Chains A and B, each alone.
Chain A
């Protein structure tokens, strides 16, 4: 048995060695050590918009005449956009973000993304999640490398949770992480006999000491039992927060629930699809508008629900690439280059659009067609890893890149 196996599957069991058998479980340690007020645990919630959202209709450069010339039927008219700073405006469907912008809790990084010129969804998502643009063979995701870069002596089973059916690329790697589409799935599921059978498995895994799987089994049931106590079905969001009633809303709601439960959540991930608007994208209303309503109202609900806890939480949104500046023959947009990212939290220096604006004149476009890139996504990720999550070794998270605070945009001070 080598050491790494234990890191993956047995670290909690090892950490408990030396305590009496009735020592508090890892979760109890978190609850005890994590009472509001003295908590120093920071959490990142990363949200991936899969399919490449049209950043130019998300954060509209209404101060650019070229924007309107390039998009005769899908542009957002200036009076309809939510004015941010006299040059940029939010898509009108995102009114849920307006108060967050006004209270300076929402920062935007425009013209950001991957320097690689791929316009394949597959490759670009891969690069954004591995954070090694152009290099396919990186086997782990950057969030997993973050987890490994900062060993956590109180390592929780719920340190990294992805609310997705399978483990996303961004969290794959040697550090432990859990993926589930719903908290209620994290249980023995056998109808009426569930409890009885869980008891059976617990007895088996409690007795068997030699097999390394037994340690994993014991941790699993600790986690299962804790979640059961938290009772996901009965959860009531606070502060009047109303999540959208769909998978995305449920994922965010359950992330909020985990944060409040104090289970040691440090990195949460979820995704939302449907952004690949090649045909009939719509303008202030339509396909993209509907999706943006879901997107922004979900995040705003999460913000409201977490309330003061947002002091220690940062929400980051990303999408693999932007879309063409000019609309196509089907009143949609095709695969482009740079895009816009959102960063939200009480500790965020918001109310500002960060990053240099490259312009939309023909000769300013990337490869003659797309918004040019002025901020590498690794500078955004790196700033969050360093200044929010407190990584002291952020360089190791971004191999092959010279990460430097001088390139950080400063949205976290």
Chain B
């Protein structure tokens, strides 16, 4: 008996820590910090007090309704990024690919004189192989671009990346930006695949942003009809196998299953979501003819310069009924009758958006993003239930997460490792730094291994740290912290306090600013030993940004 008591006692002595930590709720201040970290990109100076004054639940509800939040600071910051407001057709006109432009100019006998003379065979008027390889040509082309008000296509993605950074740093609609990041990653597209560079501004503006907090089915359809996705996953060239054989041979086209497969595996059902290879084939048939009008812009730039309007709307979605497979199909057990035309694809999207596997898959991903790398199953189940009940209402689904005990528990507090985008933005925000969002800042995300729109494959960057935390990346995180604290991140300026007061005080002040004081005794002690008399702030901030604690949110 005594033995048993002793055993029970021992058990109680060793176990409570685990038990107590499980779902112990956060203190008031912790909850505010947690919400600012997860529903946004970290607290700017003054944010904690602001949220405290209005009440954290009110803040959450406000964030769930971004359209009601004024956002002039962020709007002003992105004002000068002209690509954001251009149609895809305008982008093709103003940001042509030099090689493509030269070929078109050549075809019309419009090559710049210096280049026509340079061409090895004047009769053929051939432009040099890689026009940008030789110095003289580069100058001629530069001059030509300048005279005609043209810009290099690389500029498009640089501006789009800058807009993402600026909005994440300055927008009051923090949750909106988090969700834009989430969906951009979920429906990933790689900027360096062919025409996607020109198609991405519209993707961000017209496909992702307006639907980031709406109905999942609307978002899904928007991505399915977005030229960026149609190009990235090759559906724009998928045509019915029954189509005229000769035409097919000439263009080497046929049915393409890429989109159909990723649509189910990555966008909706998940890899174990219960579809077969036969379903992939049938879905691919349903989407034949979902394509892009002049996917590479045609001769938009040259036509514009000659004052001729090209064909209307290059780079936009259209349904080409001529190449659609109009036979009967069966998708996940549903019969889709022959002759449905564009409705075939719409029906497939509807079936997928409302499939129980989709609810489970999206719920898992959201909980992993907002709560923990290993999502608690109890919460996933409730979130999936809300998703289903609300007809895929993203706002309602998020609410279930934000007001759950799992989200608001110490178990979830500061456990997620920040992805490179989150690390860079949170460092800039917590220090109250100023940024132009330019390539100097973006370069650091690239060095850490996650450039925006730079992930090649359709699965997007992983939200679970195990798949990307590595030594090289960690080193770059430390280097970034040092660069930022010492104003060596081009386009970003931080002003640290010049107080040369007691060093430990300066350090504690920054531990409070950057980490709300959440630092282990070991780290604090190690930091203390590093303090120096001159300019303590830059060093201590650089080091804090590189601590294991600051890598987490």
Residues of B close to A199: CB separation below 8 A? 530
Question: Which listed residue (A137, A200, A219, A331) contacts B530, Cβ 8 A?
Answer: A200
Q: What does the 1/0 interface line of B257-268 toward A look like (CB < 8 Å)?
A: 010011001100
A247 interfacial contact with B, CB 8 Å = no
Q: What does the 1/0 interface line of A252-288 toward B look like (CB < 8 Å)?
A: 0000000000000000000000100111111000110
Question: How far, in angstroms, from A296 to B157 measured CA to CA in the complex?
Answer: 35
- Tell me the nearest residue of chain B to A4, going by C-beta: B466
Contact assessment for B126 and A331 in the assembled complex, using a CB-CB cutoff below 8 Å: yes
Q: Given A166-B454, A203-B526: A287 and B130 within 8 A (CB)? A: yes
Residues of A close to B252: CB separation below 8 A? 117, 119, 367
Question: Which listed residue (A120, A177, A277) contacts B470, Cβ 8 A?
Answer: A177
- Tell me the nearest residue of chain A to B128, going by C-beta: A280
Question: How far, in angstroms, from A5 to B456 measured CA to CA in the complex?
Answer: 23
- Tell me the nearest residue of chain A to B259, going by C-beta: A136
B482 interfacial contact with A, CB 8 Å = yes
Q: Given A188-B478, A213-B548, A280-B128: A8 and B522 within 8 A (CB)? A: no
Contact assessment for A200 and B539 in the assembled complex, using a CB-CB cutoff below 8 Å: yes
B520 interfacial contact with A, CB 8 Å = yes
- Tell me the nearest residue of chain B to A219, going by C-beta: B471
Q: Shortest Cβ distance from A122 into chain B, in angstroms?
A: 5
Question: How far, in angstroms, from A206 to B523 measured CA to CA in the complex?
Answer: 9
Question: How far, in angstroms, from A402 to B529 measured CA to CA in the complex?
Answer: 59
- 8 more CB-based (< 8 A) A-B contacts, given A166-B449, A203-B530, A205-B548: A4-B466, A9-B466, A120-B194, A126-B457, A201-B478, A211-B549, A277-B129, A279-B128
Q: Given A9-B470, A166-B449: A201 and B546 within 8 A (CB)? A: yes
A239 interfacial contact with B, CB 8 Å = no
Q: Given A9-B470, A188-B479, A190-B482: A210 and B520 within 8 A (CB)? A: yes
Residues of B close to A123: CB separation below 8 A? 234
Q: Shortest Cβ distance from A207 into chain B, in angstroms?
A: 4
Q: Shortest Cβ distance from B136 into chain A, in angstroms?
A: 16
Contact assessment for B466 and A8 in the assembled complex, using a CB-CB cutoff below 8 Å: yes
Contact assessment for B471 and A223 in the assembled complex, using a CB-CB cutoff below 8 Å: yes
B392 interfacial contact with A, CB 8 Å = no
Q: Shortest Cβ distance from B199 into chain A, in angstroms?
A: 14
B502 interfacial contact with A, CB 8 Å = no
Residues of A close to B525: CB separation below 8 A? 207
Residues of A close to B456: CB separation below 8 A? 122, 126, 169
A209 interfacial contact with B, CB 8 Å = yes
Question: How far, in angstroms, from A217 to B548 measured CA to CA in the complex?
Answer: 9
Contact assessment for B261 and A220 in the assembled complex, using a CB-CB cutoff below 8 Å: no
Binding site for A on B (CB under 8 A): 120, 126-130, 190, 192-194, 233-234, 249, 252, 258, 261-262, 265-266, 271, 374, 417, 446, 449, 451, 454, 456-459, 465-467, 469-472, 474-475, 478-479, 482-483, 486, 520, 522-523, 525-527, 529-530, 539, 542-543, 546-549, 551
Q: What does the 1/0 interface line of A155-194 toward B look like (CB < 8 Å)?
A: 0010000000111010000101111100000111110010
Give the residues from 116 to 167 in chain A that come closer than 8 angstroms, CB to CB, to chain B.
117, 119-120, 122-123, 126, 136-137, 139, 157, 165-167
Q: What does the 1/0 interface line of A1-19 toward B look like (CB < 8 Å)?
A: 0101100110000000000
Residues of A close to B249: CB separation below 8 A? 367
Query: What are 23 A-B contacts with C-beta separation under 8 Å?
Result: A119-B252, A126-B457, A139-B457, A169-B457, A174-B467, A177-B470, A178-B470, A190-B486, A197-B482, A197-B542, A204-B523, A207-B525, A208-B548, A210-B520, A213-B417, A216-B474, A219-B471, A223-B471, A279-B127, A279-B128, A280-B126, A281-B129, A367-B252
Q: Shortest Cβ distance from B98 into chain A, in angstroms?
A: 12
Q: Shortest Cβ distance from B247 into chain A, in angstroms?
A: 15
Residues of B close to A281: CB separation below 8 A? 129
Question: How far, in angstroms, from A367 to B530 measured CA to CA in the complex?
Answer: 68
Residues of B close to A205: CB separation below 8 A? 548
Q: Given A5-B466, A137-B262, A367-B252: A204 and B475 within 8 A (CB)? A: no
Q: Given A9-B469, A208-B548: A136 and B526 within 8 A (CB)? A: no
- Tell me the nearest residue of chain A to B471, going by C-beta: A220
Residues of A close to B262: CB separation below 8 A? 136-137
Best-surrounded residue of A4, A8, A165, A187 (most CB of chain B within 10 A): A8
Question: How far, in angstroms, from A60 to B543 measured CA to CA in the complex?
Answer: 58
Residues of B close to A214: CB separation below 8 A? 548
Residues of A close to B454: CB separation below 8 A? 166
Residues of B close to A169: CB separation below 8 A? 456-457
Question: How far, in angstroms, from A177 to B457 measured CA to CA in the complex?
Answer: 18
Contact assessment for A217 and B467 in the assembled complex, using a CB-CB cutoff below 8 Å: no
Q: Given A2-B466, A200-B539, A280-B126: A136 and B258 within 8 A (CB)? A: yes
Q: What does the 1/0 interface line of A205-249 toward B look like (CB < 8 Å)?
A: 111111101101101100110000000000000000000000000
Contact assessment for B486 and A220 in the assembled complex, using a CB-CB cutoff below 8 Å: no
A308 interfacial contact with B, CB 8 Å = no
- Tell me the nearest residue of chain B to A209, going by C-beta: B522
A39 interfacial contact with B, CB 8 Å = no
Contact assessment for A220 and B475 in the assembled complex, using a CB-CB cutoff below 8 Å: yes
A404 interfacial contact with B, CB 8 Å = no
Contact assessment for B539 and A197 in the assembled complex, using a CB-CB cutoff below 8 Å: yes
Question: How far, in angstroms, from A277 to B130 measured CA to CA in the complex?
Answer: 8
Residues of B close to A186: CB separation below 8 A? 472, 475
Question: How far, in angstroms, from A9 to B551 measured CA to CA in the complex?
Answer: 15
Question: Which listed residue (A5, A203, A211) contacts B548, Cβ 8 A?
Answer: A211
Contact assessment for A201 and B543 in the assembled complex, using a CB-CB cutoff below 8 Å: yes
Give the residues from 24 to 57 in chain A that come closer than 8 angstroms, CB to CB, to chain B.
none
Contact assessment for B466 and A137 in the assembled complex, using a CB-CB cutoff below 8 Å: no
Contact assessment for B465 and A5 in the assembled complex, using a CB-CB cutoff below 8 Å: yes
Question: How far, in angstroms, from A278 to B258 measured CA to CA in the complex?
Answer: 27
Contact assessment for B126 and A213 in the assembled complex, using a CB-CB cutoff below 8 Å: no
Question: How far, in angstroms, from A209 to B523 measured CA to CA in the complex?
Answer: 10
Contact assessment for B457 and A332 in the assembled complex, using a CB-CB cutoff below 8 Å: no
Question: How far, in angstroms, from A4 to B468 measured CA to CA in the complex?
Answer: 11
A330 interfacial contact with B, CB 8 Å = yes
- Tell me the nearest residue of chain B to A167, going by C-beta: B449
Question: How far, in angstroms, from A154 to B459 measured CA to CA in the complex?
Answer: 32
List 8 A-B pairs, minimum CB-CB distance, nearest first: A280-B129, A211-B548, A207-B522, A5-B466, A220-B471, A213-B548, A200-B530, A204-B526
Residues of A close to B549: CB separation below 8 A? 211
Question: How far, in angstroms, from A332 to B252 measured CA to CA in the complex?
Answer: 20
Q: Shortest Cβ distance from B141 into chain A, in angstroms?
A: 15
Q: Shortest Cβ distance from B254 into chain A, in angstroms?
A: 9
Question: How far, in angstroms, from A279 to B125 measured CA to CA in the complex?
Answer: 12
